[in-house]
Amino acid sequence: FREIRLASRPSGWPTEDDFEMADAGPPDVRDGQVLVRNLFMSVDPYMRGRMNEGESYVPPFELGKALEGGAVGEVVDSRVAALAPGDLVLHRYGWREHAVLDAGQARRIDRLRGIPLSAYLGVLGMPGLTAYAGLLDIASFKEGDAVFVSGAAGAVGSLVGQIARLKGASRVVGSAGSDEKVAYLIEELGFDDAFNYKKGRVHDLLARAAPDGIDVYFDNVGGDHLEAAIGALRTYGRVAMCGAISVYNAPEPPPGPRNLFLAVGRRLTLRGFIAGDHAGRMGDMLAEVAPWLAEGRITFQETVVDGLENAPRAFIDMLGGANVGKMIVRLAAD
Ligand code: NDP
């Protein structure tokens, strides 16, 4: 069975040469394990950090070993009482066509009518939890807040904006990297305003989109976006520091926000978080978001790439902004 391994640690932008397709040989399924045929796998920005040497909040990927990441698959062989062939499971062993999992590594999922299974890698999964916990718990969103989210047309950002709108934000503003994405935010996701950050200084574009300032900034991007948001935050403003994708491929650490001192006078809170620490909120997220999805009050989009061999390209393209909504790799028909 085929899998994709890390061939070399990228320096700066990853290239397809940093990955290699390999044959993992026949699976060895033991008592207490299941064999899963993967149907969809996720490519996520955090994987870029795991390709570097050195410890972060997750261990680095190992050279010459298969990469890992969220995946949805179908059980095809089971030595576990609780799982049977045909069951659908969510797990962390993507980047391979088949995965051998211990029972505790697979979470059974339901097929929801009208919603693709891949949604468990997006709105019903880790990105959904990230948006929900980041906005409500980390940024302490409350009704009437004006919210700015960067990376707004992506998996996490598109949900942050919609949840804020549904929970009574006074204004929801987003930034994204193309005019098409900006139109998507305003016309389909109901953002009050949005801008293409490639078309000017973020500081100026944000001032135009949120002339009265903001109470919450959900940061997916870092860099000049963070500096601009600090400048726009009102007293007691809050920042959920979710990611900093503008710097993940930077060869040198970028300069910090030059206006950080504003945090003092404006009594700002800047708080980082990791979604995995908030797994206890998954049930709350699903209880609120699944009905919104069913009622059509939240929508989501996916950019789907076919074939395991195209997963490295999908990952690189996602870092470059080729995706609208969640970037998904389809490994087999479900
Ligand atoms: P997205 O679906 O948003 O995909 C990444 C997007 O980043 C691209 O589509 C691109 O969109 C944008 N981007 C790339 N380079 C830049 C740049 N230089 N400046 C601005 N935008 C850029 O990914 P996710 O929704 O999965 O993740 C969004 C962020 O959330 C990431 O920073 C990620 O690391 C973080 N995250 C953090 C988690 C946590 O636990 N803290 C969990 C999950 C995600 P565009 O065309 O708009 O440039």
- 25-69-239 Cα angle (round to 5): 170
Helices (H), 138-189: 155-166, 179-183
Instruction: Quote the ligand 1 centre to 145 CA distance (angstroms).
Output: 23
Ligand 1 mutation pick, 56, 220, 273, max ligand atoms within 8 A of CB: 220
pTM recorded for the entire structure? 0.97
**Per-residue pLDDT of the chain in tens (334 residues, 90 and over written 9):** 999 999 999 999 999 999 999 999 999 999 999 999 999 999 999 999 999 998 788 899 999 999 999 999 999 999 999 999 999 999 999 999 999 999 999 999 999 888 999 999 999 999 999 999 999 999 999 999 999 999 999 999 999 999 999 999 999 999 999 999 999 999 999 999 999 999 999 999 999 999 999 999 999 999 999 999 999 999 999 999 999 999 999 888 888 999 999 999 999 999 999 999 999 999 999 999 999 999 999 999 999 999 999 999 999 999 999 999 999 999 998 8
Helix (H), strand (E) at residue 288:
helix 282-294
CB 238 within 8 A of CB 216: yes
Cross-strand partners of 146: 171
In the prediction, which pLDDT does 58 show?
85
Helix (H), strand (E) at residue 132:
helix 126-133
**Do β-strands 269-272 and 233-241 pair in parallel, antiparallel, or remain unpaired?**
parallel
- Tens digit of each residue's pLDDT (9 = 90 or more) over 266-277: 999 999 999 999
Can you tell me the distance from the alpha carbon of 257 to that of 260, in angstroms, rounded to the nearest whole number? 6
> Which atom belonging to ligand 1 lies closest to the Cα atom of 242?
41
Domains of the chain by range and CATH?
A: 2-122+301-330 (3.90.180.10), 126-276 (3.40.50.720)
In the prediction, which pLDDT does 113 show?
85
Task: Give the residues surrounding ligand 1 with Cβ less than 6 Å away.
Answer: 44-46, 127, 130, 151, 153-157, 176-178, 181, 220-221, 242-243, 245-246, 273-275, 318-319, 321, 323, 326
In the prediction, which pLDDT does 4 show?
98
What ipTM goes with this model? 0.99
Can you tell me the distance from the alpha carbon of 271 to that of 178, in angstroms, rounded to the nearest whole number? 28
Can you tell me the distance from the alpha carbon of 227 to that of 300, in angstroms, rounded to the nearest whole number? 29
In the prediction, which pLDDT does 241 show?
98
- Tens digit of each residue's pLDDT (9 = 90 or more) over 82-135: 999 999 999 999 999 999 999 999 999 999 888 999 999 999 999 999 999 999
